Amino acid sequence: MMLACAKRFVAATMVLAALSLAGCGSTKVYNADKTVVYQESVYNVSNVKVFTRRSSGQLADQSMVNLANVDEAGFMELLARSPTIRVRQGFMLDEIEMLYQQGTVSSWKEFKKLNKRFNSASKDLNKFLADSKKTQLKLK
């Protein structure tokens, strides 16, 4: 009889221990600051509410144009007005601009190469901001 009570007590203790440990490790809270490192600057992006891409160009006559959704035909029209276009691409983190790259291009092929690199960085940044476990991104 005594042995049966001891076995029940041990079994009950094990069940209680298992129930008390069931929630351990399943809920993790990550609250470390998120930072983006690019070139020689470090940007704290923990509290950024609005993240946007910005792609613009400056023509030879100093006028500015939006290059965000320009296609080949539109870009060729811009090249007809200006032999070279000074391209500036970056990210707006609320009110702070993180300049990613800038350069002068004179062909659609050169612009596509810049755009490909910019799109890749944008995907990396989006993925990083969505991942609550990662705390630092080094952009290339």
**Average pLDDT, 10 consecutive residues per value, the chain (140 residues):** 61 63 58 83 86 94 94 95 95 90 96 95 91 88
Q: Is the Cβ–Cβ distance between 122 and 100 less than 8 Å?
A: no
pTM, whole model, 2 decimals?
0.73
Q: Strand, helix or coil at 99?
A: strand
Identify whether 9 is part of a domain.
no
Is 2 within a domain?
A: no
Query: Is residue 4 situated within a structural domain?
Result: no
The answer as to whether 7 is a domain residue is no
Query: Is there a domain that residue 37 lies in?
Result: yes
- At residue 122, the pLDDT reads 93
Residue 10 belongs to a domain: no
- Decide if 1 is inside a domain: no
What per-residue confidence (pLDDT) applies to 24?
A: 59
pLDDT at 14: 67
Residue at 65 is within a domain? yes
Question: Whole domain around residue 117: which residue ranges?
Answer: 33-138
Q: Which of 88, 86, 102, 97 is nearest to 52 (CA)?
A: 97
Tokens of 57: 């160009």
- Count of structural domains within the chain: 1
